[in-house]
């Protein structure tokens, strides 16, 4: 290993392990509790399928957080995006569902970029089916039983795009024992959520079914004075049906189908602040707003007021069907997972972020389809456990984008005399025809050799072939249907290119695990993984002749070297679970967001940064010091940086000016009318979106209430989280750092006779914080953002029968 930091962390882990191994009474480490956020149960055995076979989580040499159904429901974590408040190693960013990213340990995908030709670095799996679109993270969970968050590369068993980790969601299965669940929640801001599920036999003891549904609505948290409507609301509806066919004790077939629709009014960002750039002073935000006789409705973003004047829409549909076949044969189980998924996205956005007709239309509706087939065999023996398999995946994405400029576009996007001629850009329109076809096939295997009762060796290997074919056709017209001028080409330029990419990659890992005692497991892992290469499908940068630079139409795969060591322990007669992990991840050819030196570029594109590094330590503690009292603390310290990125995009304070040269060196940051470097060396700077320190913590106390009967009781619970400062820009900027913040949530209720009634308050202390910040196109100096949810409160009633 090249990193001295990880060596020190592993030495610390080994020292702690030695102490635990000698100080703790002998007991089975096969039992565990939710190491993440479980609050209402005693510390008991939790089974996971992280290695594609069922086993106790404390026996798995992987950093895993497990969230059970009660934790998910009681904390209001109704989609993947909400999990970051429970798990400090998870980060989620979204300006709209298509433009979303889920990261683990700061890795996964660059946020703030929409590009159909790239893929995520965190795999999301629901009932063993891979969901390739990050928009999955915005949908409500349907009848979830358990969520496993696997941290670190999982390429051997979970595939090519899990360089940062995987989120493995398992829903409740059909049962031959009739049962049902119903829940309704109401709260302020018009919040209403209802959930229901029912299961039971359909044909004797051979066929069982399960039907579940969910609906969530809430008023928007931002008021748009231009339309008199609240935006960024919730409007989610979902259904799922399952049929289990069990002709024998060794064969089970589960057929599933689901449909989910979202149709909220949103999404929009609002004014946060301004910062000086290198643009001429008359072309920066304050002067432009004054010349346009414009004033934002509020300069305090936590007034939650905006005046967006373009159409807003965020309708999307997720649907699909799958067939899961599990057949016990001899020493193992043969599993087949066949699936089809679709995603339809119909957005409309205000891309200038303010109430002026600069960009009047911005829409990129997409239709995605995917087909996948996995076949694997898993077996366990006295000395050898193994999993082998084959995987195939095919997807298509078709996007028909439209962007149109308005009567004030010339003033805000052009300079000199052109800025005073609204006819130059008014009505300038680009219609994009974007397509992607992606084929991926893989063969994989993982072996666990029980060298002794205490020592296990686990090698794994995956060979993956990936092919992408794309098209990007941009047709640009102006209001007069005349040849485009140079000024118009500098804002929207016709493009027509057909990128292609294909590659074969080999992923592998090797883990050594050892029982330091009957209650302490230690492990070390090395993994070599990758994230698939991509093609740029958001338009290419232009050269001096306004022609696409086709040399950057493809992006190389990310190549990952990962080292990790950990301890998993249960102490004091299983009243405490303490898990520790230390890791170091180095990625070469990191897929980063890049811009070129054009002042009016609307979107960035992807290119490869030379190298980044992320390393850190994670600690998960769950304790039951007294009967009825459960405590948890999860912490993550993450050191992160661009190790080498000399040709990165410059931050806003160094952008927008005349391109610097030998005769005119770059000006100081934020110098109006200055000289801007064509690129910046950001080696040693922070990665975007990652806090150095993050924590989640909480407690639940249960107590008897004899008036409610023998099984009646009350409870009180608290869940808190903290994140330190992080950057919200690909190149760190003094204008877009987000200050650290902490959130506190409380709930209290009673349980009796299958009923659970509780009141709750989230963000109880009304913390003002931002989920992300971004800058307006054209280096005007305007910074916009998305405030986090304000304090909310409500009442939940659920019943199991």
Q: CATH fold of 4-404+421-432+452-662+673-800, please?
A: Maltoporin; Chain A (2.40.170)
In this model, does residue 564 exceed pLDDT 60?
yes
Count of Cβ atoms closer than 10 Å to residue 506 Cβ:
12
User: What average pLDDT does the segment 408-414 reach?
Assistant: 94
Q: How confident is the model at residue 105 (pLDDT cuts 50, 70, 90)?
A: very high
Q: What is the mean pLDDT of the chain?
A: 89
User: What average pLDDT does the segment 125-142 reach?
Assistant: 88
Comparing 742 with 85, which gets the higher pLDDT? 742
User: What average pLDDT does the segment 350-374 reach?
Assistant: 94
pLDDT at 43: 52
User: What average pLDDT does the segment 520-544 reach?
Assistant: 88
In this model, does residue 8 exceed pLDDT 50?
no
Q: Express each pLDDT in 192-230 by its tens digit.
A: 999 999 999 999 999 999 999 999 999 999 999 999 999
Nearest residue to 362 via CA among 481, 458, 269: 269
In this model, does residue 112 exceed pLDDT 50?
yes
Q: Express each pLDDT in 587-609 by its tens digit.
A: 999 988 765 544 344 345 678 88
In this model, does residue 359 exceed pLDDT 50?
yes
pLDDT at 286: 96
| 619-to-89, 450, 523, 776 alpha-carbon distances in Å | 10, 27, 15, 39
pLDDT at 11: 40
- Residue 353 CA to residue 340 CA, distance in Å, equals 37
pLDDT at 62: 93
Choose the weakest-confidence range: 30-34, 361-365, 519-523, 627-631. 30-34
In this model, does residue 19 exceed pLDDT 60?
no
| Paired sense of beta strands 270-274 and 251-262, if any | unpaired
User: What average pLDDT does the segment 236-244 reach?
Assistant: 97
In this model, does residue 124 exceed pLDDT 70?
yes
Q: How confident is the model at residue 93 (pLDDT cuts 50, 70, 90)?
A: confident
Q: Express each pLDDT in 292-315 by its tens digit.
A: 999 999 999 999 999 999 999 999
Choose the weakest-confidence range: 341-345, 594-598, 666-670. 594-598
794, 217 Cβ separation under 8 angstroms = no
- Token readout for 709 is 């009967």
pLDDT at 92: 86
- Residue 717 CA to residue 750 CA, distance in Å, equals 12
In this model, does residue 18 exceed pLDDT 60?
no
pLDDT at 601: 40
DSSP state for residue 573 in the 8-state scheme: T
In this model, does residue 111 exceed pLDDT 70?
no
DSSP letters spanning 249-291: TTEEEEEEEEEEEE--S----EEEEE---SS-GGGSHHHHHHH
| 319-to-118, 324, 341, 706, 738 alpha-carbon distances in Å | 22, 17, 6, 47, 36
Q: What percent of the chain has pLDDT over 70?
A: 92
Query: What is the distance in angstroms between the CA of the first residue and the CA of the last residue of the chain?
Result: 55
User: What average pLDDT does the segment 526-545 reach?
Assistant: 85
DSSP letters spanning 212-245: EEEEEEE--SEEETTTTEEES-EEEEEEEEEEEE
- Residue 147 CA to residue 122 CA, distance in Å, equals 14
Count of Cβ atoms closer than 10 Å to residue 363 Cβ:
18
CA 453 and chain centroid, separation: 39
Q: Where are the domains of the chain?
A: 4-404+421-432+452-662+673-800
In this model, does residue 799 exceed pLDDT 80?
yes
In this model, does residue 4 exceed pLDDT 50?
no
Q: How confident is the model at residue 97 (pLDDT cuts 50, 70, 90)?
A: confident
Q: Which residue has the tokens 């030495």?
A: 11
User: What average pLDDT does the segment 463-484 reach?
Assistant: 95
Q: Which residue has the tokens 């009016």?
A: 600
DSSP state for residue 688 in the 8-state scheme: B
Nearest residue to 750 via CA among 709, 791, 689, 696: 709
| Paired sense of beta strands 55-56 and 47-48, if any | antiparallel
Choose the weakest-confidence range: 346-350, 645-649, 685-689. 645-649
Strands of 541-690, DSSP E: 554-555, 558-571, 576-594, 605-626, 629-644, 658-659, 675-676
Q: How confident is the model at residue 388 (pLDDT cuts 50, 70, 90)?
A: very high
User: What average pLDDT does the segment 642-651 reach?
Assistant: 90
570, 43 Cβ separation under 8 angstroms = yes
- Residue 234 CA to residue 730 CA, distance in Å, equals 29
Nearest residue to 533 via CA among 559, 498, 509, 562: 559
CB-count exposure of residue 283 (10 Å: 0-12, 13-18, 19+): buried
């Amino acid at each position: 290993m090249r990193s001295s930091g990880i060596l020190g962390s592993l030495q610390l882990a080994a020292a702690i392990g030695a102490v635990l191994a000698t100080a703790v009474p002998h007991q089975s480490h096969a039992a565990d509790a939710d190491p993440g956020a479980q609050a209402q149960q005693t510390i008991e055995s939790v089974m996971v399928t992280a290695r594609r076979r069922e086993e106790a989580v404390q026996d798995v040499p992987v950093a895993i957080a497990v969230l059970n159904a009660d934790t998910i429901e009681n904390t209001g974590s109704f989609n993947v995006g909400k999990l970051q408040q429970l798990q400090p190693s998870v980060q989620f960013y979204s300006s709209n569902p298509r433009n979303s990213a889920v990261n683990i340990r700061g890795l996964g995908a660059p946020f703030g970029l929409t590009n159909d030709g790239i893929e995520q670095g965190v795999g999301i799996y629901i009932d063993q089916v891979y969901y390739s679109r990050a928009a999955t993270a915005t949908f409500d969970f349907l009848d979830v039983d358990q969520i496993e968050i696997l941290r670190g590369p999982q390429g051997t068993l979970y595939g090519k795009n899990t360089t940062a980790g995987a989120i493995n969601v398992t829903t409740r299965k059909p049962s031959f024992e009739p049962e049902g669940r119903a829940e309704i929640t109401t709260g302020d801001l018009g919040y209403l959520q209802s959930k229901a599920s029912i299961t039971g036999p359909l044909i004797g003891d051979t066929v069982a079914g399960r039907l579940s549904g969910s609906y969530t609505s809430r008023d928007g948290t931002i008021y748009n004075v231009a339309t008199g409507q609240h935006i960024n609301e919730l409007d989610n509806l979902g259904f799922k049906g399952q049929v289990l066919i069990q002709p024998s004790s060794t064969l089970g077939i589960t057929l599933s189908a689901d449909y989910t629709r979202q149709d909220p009014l949103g999404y929009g960002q609002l004014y946060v602040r301004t910062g000086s750039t290198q643009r001429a002073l008359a072309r920066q935000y304050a002067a432009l707003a004054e010349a346009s006789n414009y004033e934002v409705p509020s300069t305090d973003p936590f007034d939650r007021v905006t005046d967006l004047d373009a159409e807003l829409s965020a309708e999307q549909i997720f649907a699909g069907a799958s067939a899961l076949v599990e057949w016990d044969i001899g020493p193992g189980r043969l599993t087949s997972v066949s699936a089809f998924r679709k995603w339809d996205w119909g957005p409309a956005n205000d891309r200038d972020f303010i109430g002026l007709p600069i960009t009047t239309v911005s829409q990129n509706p997409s239709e995605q389809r995917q087909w996948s087939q996995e076949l694997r065999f898993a077996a366990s023996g006295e000395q050898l456990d193994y999993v082998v398999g084959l995987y195939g995946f095919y997807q298509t994405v078709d996007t028909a984008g439209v962007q149109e400029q308005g009567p004030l576009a010339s003033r805000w996007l052009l300079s000199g005399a052109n800025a005073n001629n609204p006819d130059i850009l008014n009505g300038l329109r680009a219609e994009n025809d974007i397509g992607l076809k992606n084929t991926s096939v893989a063969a994989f295997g993982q072996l666990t050799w029980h060298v002794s009762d205490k020592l296990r060796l686990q090698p794994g290997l995956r060979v993956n072939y990936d092919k992408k074919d794309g098209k990007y056709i941009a047709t640009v017209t102006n209001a007069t249907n005349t040849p485009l001028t140079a000024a118009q080409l500098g804002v929207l330029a016709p493009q027509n290119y057909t990128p292609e990419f294909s590659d074969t990659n080999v992923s592998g890992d090797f883990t050594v695990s050892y029982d330091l005692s009957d209650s302490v497991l230690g492990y070390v892992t090395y993994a070599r993984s990758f994230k698939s290469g991509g093609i740029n499908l958001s338009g290419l940068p232009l050269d001096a002749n306004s022609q696409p630079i086709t040399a950057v139409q493809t992006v190389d795969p990310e190549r990952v070297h990962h080292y990790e060591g950990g301890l998993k322990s249960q102490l004091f007669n299983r009243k405490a679970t303490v898990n520790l992990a230390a890791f170091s991840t180095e990625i070469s050819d990191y897929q980063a967001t890049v811009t070129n030196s054009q002042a009016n570029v609307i979107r960035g594109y992807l290119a490869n940064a030379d190298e980044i590094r992320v390393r850190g330590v994670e600690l998960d503690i769950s304790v039951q010091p007294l009967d009825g009292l459960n405590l948890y603390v999860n912490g993550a310290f993450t050191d992160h940086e661009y190790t080498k990125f000399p040709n990165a995009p410059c931050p806003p304070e160094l952008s927008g000016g005349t391109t610097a040269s030998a005769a005119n060196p770059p000006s100081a940051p934020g110098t109006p009318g200055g000289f801007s470097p064509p690129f910046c060396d950001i080696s040693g700077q922070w990665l975007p979106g990652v806090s150095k320190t993050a924590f989640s913590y909480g407690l639940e106390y249960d107590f008897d209430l004899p008036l409610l009967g023998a099984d009646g009781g009350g409870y009180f619970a608290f869940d808190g989280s903290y994140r330190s400062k992080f950057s919200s820009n690909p190149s760190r900027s003094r204008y877009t750092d987000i200050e650290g913040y902490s959130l506190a949530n409380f709930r209290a209720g009673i349980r009796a006779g299958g009923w659970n009634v509780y009141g709750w308050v989230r963000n109880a202390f009304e913390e003002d914080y931002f989920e992300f910040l971004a800058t307006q196109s054209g280096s005007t100096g305007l910074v916009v953002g998305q405030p986090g949810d304000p304090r909310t409160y409500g009442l939940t009633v659920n019943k199991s029968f």
